[in-house]
Amino acid sequence: MQAATSVRANAFPTLTQALLAVESVLLGGGQRTARRNAWTAVLEDRRRARDRVEAQHVLEAVATRSS
């Protein structure tokens, strides 16, 4: 019978973690914050655009039923 040995998983960083590490080395804190804020704004704009398209479809459906 073999003795129980503990297996230690070696956690590799995810791609996101690796990119964040490179970003932190290359950019200063202010630039990093600005880039993140800009990306957040892009995502929010995309969400609002999807909402507008959905609202337009609803309005068109209501207008079609009323006619």
Q: Tell me the one-letter amino acid at 23.
A: E
What is the extent of the structural domain holding 33? 15-66
pLDDT at 50: 98
Cα dist. 49→12, 37, 43, 63 in Å?
37, 18, 10, 21
Q: What is the token pair recorded at 44? A: 């929010």
What's the CA gap between 14 and 32, in Å, rounded?
19
Residue 52 falls inside a structural domain:
yes
Residue 62 falls inside a structural domain:
yes
8 A C-beta contact, residue 43 and residue 51: no
Residue 5 falls inside a structural domain:
no
pLDDT at 26: 81
pLDDT digits (tens, 9 = 90+) for 13-59: 789 888 888 878 887 778 888 989 999 999 999 999 999 999 999 99
pLDDT at 37: 94
pLDDT exceeds cutoff 80 at 61: yes
pLDDT exceeds cutoff 90 at 3: no
> Between residues 66 and 7, which one has the greater pLDDT?
66
Residue 1 falls inside a structural domain:
no
What's the CA gap between 45 and 17, in Å, rounded?
25
Residue 4 falls inside a structural domain:
no
